[in-house]
Chains A and B, each alone.
Chain A
Amino acid sequence: MSEISPQSHRILYCRCAYANTVPQGVKDEVLQRLSDAGRPFEAVSDLCEMSASRDPRLKSIAEGSGCVRIAACYPRAVKWLFHAAGHPLPEQGIEVVNMRELSGEEAAALLLDGNIASSTSSHTSSHA
C-alpha cells in the first residue's frame, strides 16, 4: 500500500453542491480549514454531476501528476463515479476522505496532514 507524504499531494475538494448529501457543517468546516491552511488545492462543485455529464475535467484529475487526496463521500462511490465517466482513477496514489462519515476537523486533518494509508479509520480509503 502506497503512502502519500503530507506535503507532496494534491488536494481535491468536492462541494456536493447538487444534492447536499454531505452534511453542510462538515463540508463548510473542511473548506474553511483548507482555505485557511495556506496550501493550494482544487475544488469542484459536484463530482456526481461531473460524472453524469462526463466532464472532461475528471480526466485531468484522474491523470494528473502526483498523488491526490479527494475530499468527497464514500470511496467506493468516488472510485466508480470516475470509472462511469470514462476516466478511471489510477490504482496507486489516490486517497479518498469521506466527509459523510467524518467530522470536518477529522476530514481536514487527514487531507492536510494525516497519513491516510496507515489510518485505522474505516471512512477513508486508498486505492492501493
Chain B
Amino acid sequence: MLSNDNSPIQVIIYEGKGASPLADETRLAVLSQLLDKGFAVALAKEGGREISAPTLKGKQRLLVLGDFAGDAPSLEDASGQASIETVTVSGLSADEVLGRVEQFREGQPMNEPGKWKPWFPVIDYDRCTNCMQCLSFCLFDVYGVDTENRIQVQNNDNCKTNCPACSRVCPEVAIMFPKYSGGPINGDKVNTQDLEREKMKVDISSLLGGDIYASLRTRSEQAKSRFSKERSPDKALSERKKCLTKLQQDGMIPAEVLENLPSPEEILRRAAAAAAKADVALKAQTSAN
C-alpha cells in the first residue's frame, strides 16, 4: 500500500561553507544509490538557492551529510517543522554513507523501488472531453467523477500493472501511462495517426466492452431459457476468455488481467454499475449545460 503519511526523509548533501566537497566518484555513487533506494536527495552548494521546505502532515526529518571540518555542526529548524541531523561523512565510502542514512531512517517505512510499479492512468485534461468511455470500460473501478462530474482517477491502486487498455478506448488519446513503452500512451505527442485509432477503439470495445457484455447477457438469458439449456455460463466464460486471450496475445493487455477477471456474472454487474455511473455523470453534465 502506498503511503507517505510517515514524514519522508529528505537527504541533503551539503558542500557549502564549513564543508569540503565530496570526491566526485563518492558524490555520484551516494546520489545514485540513495535515489535507487527511494530517497529524495538535494545537493546544496555555497551560494546556491534555498532548498524548498515541503509542507508535510508530520514533522519532516532532514539528514544533512557533509565532509565537515571537525565535528558536524548542530542545526535547528527555526520554524520547528523539521528535525535536522547532521552527519560527517569524511573518508567514508558510498556504501558506508548509505549505511549512515539507513541508520538515521531507523526502519521508518517508506516506498521503495522494486516493490511496486507506479502504474496508473494519468488524464490529459487538455484533451479529455469527459465522454466517460474510460469509466464505462474499466472493470476495476479505477475511474470515478468529482463533485462537478468531471472524470478522474480515483482508485489508482486498482489498476492492473502493464494494462493500458483504457487508454486504447479513449477517443481523444487523453489517457497516459507514463511508464508505458510506446507513444502516445507514454505521454509522447499525439499525432493525427493516433487520433485515427478510433477504428481500433471500436474493435477493442466490441471485444472487451459492448459486444462481449451483450453476448454474455444474451447467453445468460438463453441459459435460463428452456430452449437453450446448452448455453451454460461456462461456455460464456470460455468465450470471454477466448476474446481476451486474443487481446493478450496481441500485446494489448497483460496475462495478469486475464487471471484476475471476475466471474461472468460479476463482469456484467460491474459493467452495468460503471455504465450507470457514467450515465449519471453525463446526464448531470447535460443538465448543467
The yes or no verdict on A and B being binding partners is yes
| Residues of chain A having any CB pair with chain B under 8 Å | 10, 15, 17-19, 21, 28, 31-32, 34-36, 38-46, 48-49, 51-57, 59-61, 64-66, 73-78, 80-81, 83-84, 100, 122
Q: Take A10-B49, A40-B45, A45-B36 as given contacts and tell me if A52 and B186 are in contact as well, using a CB distance cutoff of 8 Å.
A: no
Asked if B258 CB lies within 8 Å of chain A CBs, one says: no
Of the candidates A43, A66, A81, A122, which one forms a contact with B42 in the assembled complex, judged by CB atoms under 8 Å apart? A43
User: In residues 16-64 of chain B, which contact A (Cβ within 8 Å)?
Assistant: 24, 27-28, 31-32, 35-45, 48-57
Of the candidates A42, A55, A84, which one forms a contact with B4 in the assembled complex, judged by CB atoms under 8 Å apart? A55
Q: Take A48-B178, A60-B54, A73-B178 as given contacts and tell me if A80 and B118 are in contact as well, using a CB distance cutoff of 8 Å.
A: no
Residue of A nearest to B58 (CB): A56
Chain A residues within 8 Å of B54, by CB: 56-57, 59-60
Tell whether, in the assembled complex, residue B31 and residue A31 are in contact, meaning their CB atoms are under 8 Å apart: yes
Question: Can you list 22 A-B pairs with a CB-CB distance of less than 8 A?
Answer: A15-B36, A18-B116, A18-B117, A19-B117, A35-B27, A38-B45, A39-B45, A40-B43, A40-B48, A43-B43, A45-B37, A45-B38, A45-B40, A49-B38, A53-B2, A53-B4, A56-B55, A57-B40, A61-B52, A65-B50, A73-B186, A80-B125
Asked if B226 CB lies within 8 Å of chain A CBs, one says: no
A-B contacts besides A18-B114, A31-B32, A49-B116, 12 pairs, CB < 8 Å? A17-B36, A19-B118, A21-B180, A31-B35, A42-B40, A49-B118, A53-B3, A55-B8, A65-B50, A73-B187, A100-B186, A122-B189
In the complex, how many angstroms separate the beta carbon of B173 from the nearest chain A beta carbon?
Answer: 11
User: In residues 70-122 of chain B, which contact A (Cβ within 8 Å)?
Assistant: 111, 113-114, 116-120, 122
Main secondary structure of the interface of A (DSSP, over half): mixed
Of the candidates B39, B40, B122, which one forms a contact with A81 in the assembled complex, judged by CB atoms under 8 Å apart? B122
Of the candidates A31, A44, A57, A84, which one forms a contact with B123 in the assembled complex, judged by CB atoms under 8 Å apart? A84
User: In residues 107-156 of chain B, which contact A (Cβ within 8 Å)?
Assistant: 111, 113-114, 116-120, 122-125, 153, 156
Chain B residues within 8 Å of A100, by CB: 186
Residue of A nearest to B123 (CB): A80
Asked if B176 CB lies within 8 Å of chain A CBs, one says: yes
In the complex, how many angstroms separate the beta carbon of A120 from the nearest chain B beta carbon?
Answer: 15
Using a Cβ–Cβ cut-off of 8 Å, how many residues does chain B contribute to the interface with A? 55
* Measured CA separation A100–B186 after assembly (Å): 10
Tell whether, in the assembled complex, residue B186 and residue A21 are in contact, meaning their CB atoms are under 8 Å apart: yes
* Measured CA separation A17–B124 after assembly (Å): 23
Tell whether, in the assembled complex, residue B55 and residue A40 are in contact, meaning their CB atoms are under 8 Å apart: no
Chain A residues within 8 Å of B53, by CB: 60
| Residues of chain B having any CB pair with chain A under 8 Å | 2-4, 8, 10, 24, 27-28, 31-32, 35-45, 48-57, 111, 113-114, 116-120, 122-125, 153, 156, 176, 178-181, 183, 186-189
A-B residue pair count with CB separations less than 8 angstroms: 151
Tell whether, in the assembled complex, residue A46 and residue B125 are in contact, meaning their CB atoms are under 8 Å apart: no
Interface hub of A44, A56, A81 (most chain B Cβ within 10 A): A56
Of the candidates A40, A42, A55, A77, which one forms a contact with B122 in the assembled complex, judged by CB atoms under 8 Å apart? A77
Residue of B nearest to A43 (CB): B41
Residue of A nearest to B181 (CB): A21
In the complex, how many angstroms separate the beta carbon of B156 from the nearest chain A beta carbon?
Answer: 6
Residue of B nearest to A15 (CB): B35
Q: Take A18-B113, A40-B44, A73-B178 as given contacts and tell me if A35 and B52 are in contact as well, using a CB distance cutoff of 8 Å.
A: no
In the complex, how many angstroms separate the beta carbon of B25 from the nearest chain A beta carbon?
Answer: 10
* Measured CA separation A74–B184 after assembly (Å): 10
Q: Take A21-B186, A40-B49 as given contacts and tell me if A35 and B44 are in contact as well, using a CB distance cutoff of 8 Å.
A: no
Q: Take A64-B52, A76-B189 as given contacts and tell me if A81 and B178 are in contact as well, using a CB distance cutoff of 8 Å.
A: yes
Of the candidates A32, A36, A73, A84, which one forms a contact with B153 in the assembled complex, judged by CB atoms under 8 Å apart? A84
Chain B residues within 8 Å of A76, by CB: 124, 176, 187-189
Tell whether, in the assembled complex, residue A48 and residue B118 are in contact, meaning their CB atoms are under 8 Å apart: yes
